[in-house]
């Protein structure tokens, strides 16, 4: 599991470690790792041109000492001193190794640019001359390496308030910062390389985590010798309408492919016909009225994809949410809940799976504000609504009050196509029915959905049905030995 921390958590851990070490030890450890990554990126260090963008803080010192190491290997290293002060010992070491101080015009001639402008203590928009230097670094043709995190990215949240350095590689020290995992910050970080400087035992419980395939393999249920279709989990799906029959087909498909022992689908005539045609494995109930009385016993429900938002749909939502099993609410179900928050006043768990627009209606926040601070708003929704939140989008975030947020890193932009969210609902619902908590079902569902998207796309466009088909392959990919 990848664990990530806020700026305050990192600073406290660094202070605790520095109290036990000779002065400057952590900076030298960071500089050694940073220089090694830069050398690998350059390939040939001797004769290369490296420009350091040096701010006033410790990031500037890290850059100067890393520049010293590259200069001693034959690189031409130039430092653009942007701060009101400079780490004196680091600058002296660079100059003694043959480096020199340069103007910003050197940026355009660089093979590699090292961004040491600001560190984890910075917040808000970059000021001048930092903003201008960030723009010049982004416009240059050189590889950009960020020291600890790209300047302009908030370490604790991933917010980007203005100009920011867009790195090819971010070399982060000691531990991942939450802002490196969550968009928009993650989009500026590029590949993230972690350098161990010894913080381990001083770190608290993480602020956020990202599951790996091994973590998911350890969480998802597997059938045993005593399993039957009922023990493997029965999922109810209330989805689809005369207008949106495909949503029902996709949600049921995601559930069946996700390992549910049985799927009970309940809907109106048009989607019922489509589900019967596509999925003969599903047990289908035609609803003449908005009631689940004759559907049969289930261990969890998926409510909402393509359901509609009329009175009939609202009455069905009331019945599903009055049940005593976990319910995943998506799509039209979220619209119904946004109109009638009382639907969420239940003792059994609820998992909601909104995108930013749907979340904006649920908590009365601006959609653009949600996109700019995904983690903050997912946590807010979990606390205000008393539910587990899976916020879909460029970074999928799972939030539950009292737990570290989970950030999914398995996805692909190819998943941004119609119907893939319906498949995710069915998949996560199947995991709920198999006994996972909302927190784990959301996290594992998002991870497997991302892997399935990658398998289905293979670098080309996909359809939602392709993703459903790829789910068993995604499960094999994370559970097979050596994965």
Q: Give the pair of three-digit tokens for residue 192.
A: 């993230």
Of 403, 413, 240, the residue nearest 316 (C-alpha): 240
CA-CA distances (angstroms) from residue 293 to 263, 282, 320, 463? 16, 18, 10, 34
Of 461, 440, 456, the residue nearest 221 (C-alpha): 440
* 394 marked as binding residue: yes
* 311 marked as binding residue: no
Helix ranges (H only) for 393-463 are 420-433, 438-457
Of 433, 58, 5, the residue nearest 236 (C-alpha): 433
* 296 marked as binding residue: no
* 437 marked as binding residue: no
* 148 marked as binding residue: yes
Strands (E) across 213-334 are located at: 234-238, 262-267, 283-286, 300-303, 327-329
| Site of tokens 């001359």 | 129
* 4 marked as binding residue: no
* 122 marked as binding residue: yes
User: How much helix, strand and coil, in percent to the nearest 5, is found in the chain?
Assistant: 45, 15, 40
* 420 marked as binding residue: no
* 247 marked as binding residue: yes
* 261 marked as binding residue: no
Q: Under a CB-based contact definition with an 8 Å cutoff, are residues 53 and 133 in contact?
A: yes
* 120 marked as binding residue: yes
Nearest-angstrom CA–CA distance, 403 and 353: 17
Torsion of CA 322, 221, 254, 379, to 10 degrees: 60
Q: Under a CB-based contact definition with an 8 Å cutoff, are residues 375 and 158 in contact?
A: yes
* 115 marked as binding residue: yes
* 130 marked as binding residue: yes
* 228 marked as binding residue: no
Other beta carbons less than 10 A from residue 10's beta carbon: 28
Q: Under a CB-based contact definition with an 8 Å cutoff, are residues 363 and 389 in contact?
A: no
* 463 marked as binding residue: no
Q: Under a CB-based contact definition with an 8 Å cutoff, are residues 219 and 390 in contact?
A: no
* 125 marked as binding residue: yes
Burial of 392 (0-12, 13-18, 19+ CB in 10 A): buried
Q: Under a CB-based contact definition with an 8 Å cutoff, are residues 290 and 273 in contact?
A: no
* 422 marked as binding residue: yes
* 277 marked as binding residue: no
* 59 marked as binding residue: yes
* 291 marked as binding residue: no
DSSP assigned state of 84: S
Pick out the residues of the known binding site for AMP: 392-396, 421
- Residues contributing to the annotated binding site for K(+): 59, 115, 151
Residue ranges for the binding site?
Answer: 58-62, 115, 119-125, 130, 148, 151, 247, 306, 355, 392-396, 421-422
Residues annotated within the binding site for (6S)-NADPHX are 58-62, 119-125, 130, 148, 247, 306, 355, 422
């Amino acid at each position: 599991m990848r664990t990530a921390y806020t700026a305050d958590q990192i600073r406290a851990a660094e202070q605790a470690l520095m109290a036990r070490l000779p002065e400057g030890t952590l900076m030298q450890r960071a500089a050694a790792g940073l220089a090694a990554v830069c050398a690998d990126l350059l390939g040939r260090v001797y004769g290369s041109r490296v420009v350091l963008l040096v701010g006033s803080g410790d990031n500037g010192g890290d850059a100067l000492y890393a520049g010293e190491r590259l200069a001693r290997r034959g690189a031409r290293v130039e430092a653009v001193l942007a701060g009101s002060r400079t780490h004196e010992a680091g600058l002296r070491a660079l100059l003694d190794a043959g480096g020199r101080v340069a103007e910003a015009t050197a940026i355009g001639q660089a093979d590699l640019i090292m961004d040491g402008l600001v560190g984890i203590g910075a917040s808000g928009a970059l000021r001048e001359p930092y903003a201008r230097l960030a723009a010049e670094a982004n416009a240059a043709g050189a590889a950009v390496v960020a020291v600890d995190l790209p300047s302009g990215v908030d370490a604790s949240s991933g917010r980007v308030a203005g100009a920011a350095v867009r790195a090819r590689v971010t070399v982060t020290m000691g531990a991942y910062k939450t802002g490196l995992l969550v968009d928009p910050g993650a989009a500026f970080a590029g590949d993230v390389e972690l350098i161990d400087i010894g913080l381990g035992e001083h770190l608290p419980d993480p602020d956020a985590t990202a599951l790996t395939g091994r973590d998911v393999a350890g969480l998802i249920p597997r059938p045993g010798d005593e399993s039957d279709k009922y023990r493997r989990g029965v999922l109810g799906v209330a989805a689809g309408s005369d207008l949106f029959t495909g949503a029902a087909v996709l949600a049921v498909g995601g559930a069946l492919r996700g390992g549910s022992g049985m799927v009970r689908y309940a809907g109106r005539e048009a989607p019922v016909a489509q589900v019967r045609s596509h999925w003969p494995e599903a047990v289908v109930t035609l609803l003449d009225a908005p009631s689940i009385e004759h559907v049969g016993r289930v261990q969890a429900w998926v409510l909402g994809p393509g359901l509609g938002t009329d009175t009939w749909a609202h009455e069905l939502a009331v019945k599903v949410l009055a049940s005593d099993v976990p319910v995943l609410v998506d799509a039209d179900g979220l619209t119904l809940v946004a109109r009638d928050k009382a639907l969420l006043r239940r003792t059994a768990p609820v998992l909601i799976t909104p995108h930013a627009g749907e979340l904006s209606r649920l908590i009365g926040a601006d959609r653009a504000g949600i996109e700019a601070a995904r983690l903050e708003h997912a946590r807010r929704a979990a606390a205000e609504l008393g539910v587990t939140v899976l916020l879909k989008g460029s970074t999928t975030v799972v939030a539950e009050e009292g737990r570290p947020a989970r950030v999914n890193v398995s996805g692909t932009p190819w998943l941004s196509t119609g119907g893939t969210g319906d498949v995710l609902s069915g998949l996560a619902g199947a995991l709920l029915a198999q006994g996972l908590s909302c927190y784990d079902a959301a996290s594992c569902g998002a991870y497997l959905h991302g892997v399935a998207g990658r398998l289905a796309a293979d670098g080309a466009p996909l359809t939602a049905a392709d993703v459903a088909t790829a789910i068993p392959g995604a499960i094999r990919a994370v559970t097979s030995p050596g994965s």
